[in-house]
Amino acid sequence: MKNILRYTFLLLILLASSTEEGKSQDKRIKGPRFGVDVSGFAWQYFIPSRQNVGITADFEINPEYYAAVEAGMLATNRKEETHQYSSTGFYGKIGFDRNFLEPQPQSRYDILYGGFRLGGAIFSHQADNIILSDGYWGEYTASIPSHNLNAFWVEAVGGIKTEVFENFFMGWSVRGQLMLFQQKNRDMKPWLIPGYGNADSNTSIYITYTLSYRIPLLTVPQNK
């Protein structure tokens, strides 16, 4: 009799735990996910004259679509033999991502995605200590004062994000960019455009690596 009661008690515990697990699988956590693009620190290591910081944010509309925004800044200070070039500016991007993975019990929030961004940047640049040579006057120095510029482009994005701990994600993405408009400066060409890259190219490809955290604000039914 004691064994029957013991087994019955254990069976009730197992049924209760499985029911709770089933209920948790029927719910889905939603909230804004904020991240940092740590690839900028790698660029700074290899190119000390380039300092950039990028942040990201997205929000799950449903398990298939995510709204996304990004922002950041870039500062450069490039010293050459004939001049010293410096620039600083900010960028912003807005778009969406589409998740191609079906939610799984053990990886409900992992995504393999493709997406689109519309990006824009506002920045300024200048050059100092420009060394010029003249047959009559010899060498002398000049400078180009600061000019404000802007640019706009579109991006195609593909990447992954994986939940390594509860609400904490790691991911990477590949970006293909196409310049739509770039303001010109007749005195001097810019070196880099914040959020875009090489100002001399109308297309660009680069990779980002992000660490992000989702703030668990909402719990909704799984099918929403």
User: Could you give the CA distance from residue 169 to residue 133 in angstroms, rounded to a whole number?
Assistant: 55
Tens digits of per-residue pLDDT, 20-35? 444 445 788 899 999 9
* CB-based burial, 75-109: b 16+ in 10 Å, e otherwise: bbebeeeebebbbbbebbbebbbebeeeeeeeebb
Global model pTM greater than 0.85: no
Mean local confidence (pLDDT), 97-109 = 86
- Digit-coded pLDDT (tens) for 35-86: 999 988 887 778 888 899 999 999 999 999 999 999 999 999 988 878 889 9
DSSP 76-113: EEEE-SS-EEEEEEEEEEEEEEEE-SPPBTTBTT-EEE
Kindly report, residue by residue over 181-200, the tens digit of the pLDDT: 999 888 888 999 999 999 99
Average pLDDT, the chain: 85
